[in-house]
Structure 1
Amino acid sequence: MKHETLRHEALAPDVLMFVGNDHQSVATAFLDGDDALLVDSLGSSEDAHALRRILCGEMGKTVRAVAATHFMSDHIAGMRLFPDALTIAHRHYRHTFLAQNRRVDAFYREPQLLFDTALSLRWGRHRLRFVHNPGKTMDHVSVDAPEADLVCVGDAIVGNIVYLSRADPELIHGAIGRIRRFGRGRVVGGHVGHFPAAVLDNAIHYLQQLRARVIRIRAGTAPVAVADLIAAIPIEDCLAPGVEASAFERRWHRHNLELIPAQSVFELDTSLEEMAAAEVAA
């Protein structure tokens, strides 16, 4: 179904997913009768107002809590629209908000409930587990919903790939690995929508193949040519077998290729592999 620019669908009778027009950011509503808990709240004022119109105005639900998988502006646009709702975030939320590239101060709302390692919350039939899972950001949270056989993962993945941003790729790899251990059948991303669990393997494959290709370029090329060669890495060379890239994934792959030379991503990995090869040769 569509409502202006906002797509929404039921993942279960008491779980609704909303996908906004801005960056295809995702919000997930867990229902307890007419009470709703939101995990993330979209990426623009327009999308957030459409979410409120649909969920509260048309469906008659009251948002009692809004939780953030991470405190970046493209995921918290709706927090201020529900002033009576409890706000939940990891204690490192402020670090993430200040470190982002696209900060929107008008979306900021102080979280009322902070946690460190984990938080468990009963919401209707759901036993929601908020688990600190640093990867793309230091405050990243995975929200495990076993009764719905799904996990909300924020920006741990971007569809079948990952976005490196300013993160350590090893942290992203570790975060995805921890999500796999939840063993859920569906994964709700921070963007695009929901996916079967195989998307986690696809994202790890992409990250590993991108790393290997960048290391190969850095190890065998004069520094002056590195950026151009990295910029030419096709997304098809990094995707898991049988996966076709969406336009959204292609866009964020291009962003990865731009930031890798700018932020010296995989440079340490290249040095370590060269040192290991030299030790073997000696």
Structure 2
Amino acid sequence: MRVQPVAEQVWMFVGDDHESVATAFIDGDDALLVDALGRTDDALRLRQLLCEERGKTVRAIVATHCMSDHMAALPLFPQALRIAQRHYRHTFLHQNRREDAYYLEPQLVFDHAMSLRWGAHELRLLHNPGKTLDHISVDVPSADLVCAGDNIVGRIVYLSRADPMALRAAILRLREFGRGSVIGGHIGCFPAVVLDQALHYLDRLRDTVVGIRASATSRQADARIAAIPIEACLAPQVQALAFERDWHARNLEAIVAQSVFALDAAMALREARA
């Protein structure tokens, strides 16, 4: 596990499983977690490092979204207050790989926004649906950072079953916060330019797929889409990480299986004929 301080009394933990991230905000001997890692082994290591070695007690856990690869530590801290957006159950039930053993009902749910003071920082929890219906952003002005969850995956995005335009809108809202650092749901912490890089990837992927669908038969289009290299979509000067390559491949699978961007291609063709 990788542990990194990212601001005053803010520590980031990156697990081995899917490089899932948990961020700890510290108030004396108490800790609040944003997200809770992806596997029990990682969660146990987090508890050792945070609680046993640093003497902190986890009092609250905020979910950026309720998918299993961010919930593994919940059963280890059953007394912690669990906070989520109201549509948490929809997200949990509609994920690709559900792990019911990690599921605990949140005790505090909200609709649009809520704020809480934790030590030196005010955490602003804002509903920002993109990757999932329940997605939130955790804006922390005093630490000059925002926790983005899975609305970005490194310098790219992961479509899965999301509406790409909802993802785009979520990233634009993240950019409006103007924070210097962005903590993703995977990989770690990035400078703010990561949001522009993720938008570039999403837009180039869309444009490439729309172009293919407009100029090829369905079968030909599927084969060409499956072969789109990540380099064709990355922002200038960005070199793909192994994790990003893996999830780009998953994006291509989702695009073919779900006919993602087919509506965009049909609209582009309609406009060209008008």
> How would you bin the TM-score normalised by the shorter chain?
over 0.9
Deviations 1:11-35 (A, max 9, x none): 1230000000000000000001111
Residue 99, structure 1, aligned to residue 91, structure 2: no
Partner of 2:39: 44
Which residue number in structure 2 is paired with residue 3 of structure 1? none
Aligned equivalent of 2:69:
74
What SS class does the counterpart of residue 161 from structure 2 fall into? Answer: coil
Match of 2:50 among 55, 58, 72: 55
Letter in 1 for 2:212: I
RMSD: 0.5
Give the 5 Å matches for 1:228-243: 228-243=223-238
Spell out the pairing of 1:199-210 with structure 2 (5 A cutoff). Answer: 199-210=194-205
In 1, the alpha carbon distance for the partners of 2:238 and 2:132 equals 26
CA distance in 1, matches of 2:250, 2:268: 25
How far apart, CA to CA, are the structure 2 residues paired with 1:273 and 1:13? 49
Give how far 1:172 is off.
Answer: 0.2
Q: In 2, distance between residues paired with 1:160 and 1:11?
A: 19
Q: 2:160 aligns with which of 161, 165, 168?
A: 165
Which blocks of at least 5 consecutive residues in structure 1 are unaligned? 1-5
SS of equivalent residue, structure 1 residue 102: coil
Counterpart for residue 249 of structure 2: 254
Structure 2 segments unaligned to the other structure (5+ residues): none
Q: Pairwise mapping of residues 1-282 of structure 1 onto structure 2 (< 5 A)?
A: 6-279=1-274
1:111-134 deviation per Cα after TM superposition (whole angstroms, max 9, x unaligned): 000000001001111110000000
Give deviations 1:57-115, integer Å, cap 9, x for gaps: 00000100001000000001111111111000001000000000110000000000000
1:146 to partner: Cα distance:
0.6
| CA apart distance, 1:277 | 1.0
Moved more, 205-214 or 6-15: 6-15
Give the distance between the partners of 2:211 and 2:272, measured in 1 at CA.
Answer: 13
**Percent of aligned pairs with the same residue?**
64
CA offsets, 1:161-220, max 9 Å, x none?
Answer: 000010000000000000000000000000000000000000000000000000010000
Aligned length: 274
Q: Which moved more, 1:79-88 or 1:129-138?
A: 79-88
Structure 1 consecutive aligned stretches of length 4 or more whose deviation exceeds 4 Å: none
Matched AA of 1:46: D
Query: Deviation of residue 224 (structure 1)?
Result: 1.4
Q: SS of 1:87's equivalent? A: strand
Rounded Cα–Cα distance in structure 2 between residues aligned with 1:50 and 1:139: 28
Distance, in Å, in 1 between the alignment partners of 2:77 and 2:254 is: 36
- SS at 1:160's partner residue? coil
Asked whether the equivalents of residues 8 and 143 of structure 2 are also in contact (C-alpha less than 8 Å), the reply is no
Looking at structure 1, the residues matched to 161 and 78 of structure 2 have their Cα atoms a distance apart, in angstroms, of 32
Any idea what SS the aligned residue of 1:245 has?
A: coil
Secondary structure in 2 matching 1:128? strand
What's the TM-score once normalised by structure 1's chain length?
0.96
Structure 2-normalised TM-score? 0.99
- SS of the residue 1:164 aligns to: coil
Q: Specify the code of the residue in structure 2 equivalent to 1:101.
A: N
